[in-house]
A and B are shown apart, each in its own frame.
Chain A
Amino acid sequence: MSSLYERIGGDAAVEAAVDVFYKKVLTDDSISQFFETTDMDAQREKQKKFLTVAFGGPNDYSGKDMRAAHAHLTLTEDHFGAVAGHLQATLEELGVPEAEIGEAMAIAASTHDDVLGL
């Protein structure tokens, strides 16, 4: 069976999802402070990278990188849950089938300890 990334639609799907997702994150006051930056273009690229990871696509993130990238932030269970919620809502909005959403959410959940530094 082809990978989740391929079934969802590859880079084109990630490109379609990234704006929907990033806008949800930017308008969520409980987490938007982590995404405020003068360089929105770079920030959007980061969001795209995250979605690529969640879709099981080609990525250059190891668990160690994931840990290091989030180490300087003070993140809580609520923050992680909020981002995960936006991911799920994005996929639902784009009409991704339930089984594939489940797979993506499972991958996202697997980053939990690294993101929160546990």
Chain B
Amino acid sequence: MNKVTITYEGSQVSCDPDKSILENLITQDIDVTYSCQKGSCLTCVMKTDHDVDPKSRAPLKPTLVEQGYFLGCQQKPNDGMVINAADQIGVFHNVRVTNIELRGGQVAIVRLTVPDGYEYRPGQFVNIIGPNYTLRSYSIASIPLDDELEIHVKEHEFGTVSRWLCDKSLIGQEIEISEPEGQCFYLPGRSSSPLLLIGTGTGLAPLIGIIRDALSQGHDGKIELYHGAVNDDGLYLIDELQSLSSEYDNLSVHLGVLNKGSLNHTLEGAINDIALSQHHDLTGWRVFLCGDPDMVKKTKTKAYLADAALSDILADPFDIQDVKN
């Protein structure tokens, strides 16, 4: 196979032209920051003056594109490309952990101070720098009216960052978070159009942010939330959801578990199947899907076939990869 040569951080790197620049760097053990490898997390952003595939720039802000930034995971190497790492642009903010509250299903609700002038849309996500510079993305569950930034962390047995964030000894310490990223959020306007939100596990975090955001902006159309978990204890926000739905007439909350337990009012089965069996016609609906990537992908197709416009289906697949462990 013909190899191409690029220059990365001043060193020549021989690359397989059929693989992404990021993949080439990773397989050669070159130190590079990355996480999802799917063009979602934006952590593998790099800089070049050479032409790149528009796809590698599509998720970036125009101001970054203007400066030559692109995503290494979405770009194949061209012979002679000169590339530099872009650690500087990932503007990170120091924030203090104000509280860590352990809930069911090994989920912790983590609250952080908000950096001065920090502008975010509920449903977007932040990248957090964990131990050994491991980065992970977490969706924002709070709204700008709140005093604190709230994220929901599911503790994974081998998750360096999640175990660290679920450890109460972190309370009071400072950690670093990125600028908010992502396109899965509520857009004002069409305030009476119905919203369907489906999330599994901590996929609920962005959804609750989106719902509270929509309500605070006066959304008066129907809001149907479906939250699914494996067992009852994975329905970690049940009290908050019930009190919110009793406060707002237009909000209905549906909870589902794969293994039906003793909780009343829960449905049994895959939450996406339950939701779509109750909504056959999604014409005019806005649909938000968050959580397990496979669920998100399948449900996106089904929502489209149920006549939701593709531009009205916003999805945030949680592509978690413990790549640096």
Contacts and interface: CB of A to CB of B under 8 A. Distances in A.
Interface of A: 23, 26-27, 36, 38, 40-41, 44
A38 B40 CA distance: 12
A29 B311 CA distance: 25
A90 to B, nearest CB: 15
A23 B305 CA distance: 6
Interface string B301-316: 1001100001100000
B279 interface: no
Q: Most B CB atoms within 10 A — which of A26, A36, A40, A44?
A: A40
A27 B310 contact: no
A40 B293 CA distance: 14
B306 to A, nearest CB: 10
Task: Report the interface size class on chain B.
Answer: 10 to 19
Interface of B: 38, 293, 297, 300-301, 304-305, 310-311, 317
A38 B305 contact: no
Give the interface centre of B38, B293, B300, B301 by most chain A CB atoms within 10 Å: B301
Contacts of B300: 40
A60 to B, nearest CB: 14
Contacts of A41: 310-311
A27 B297 contact: no
Given A38-B297, A41-B310, A26 B317 contact: no
Contacts of A44: 310
A38 B310 contact: no
Nearest to B298: A36
Given A26-B304, A40-B304, 9 more contacts: A23-B304, A23-B305, A26-B305, A38-B38, A38-B297, A38-B317, A40-B300, A40-B310, A41-B310
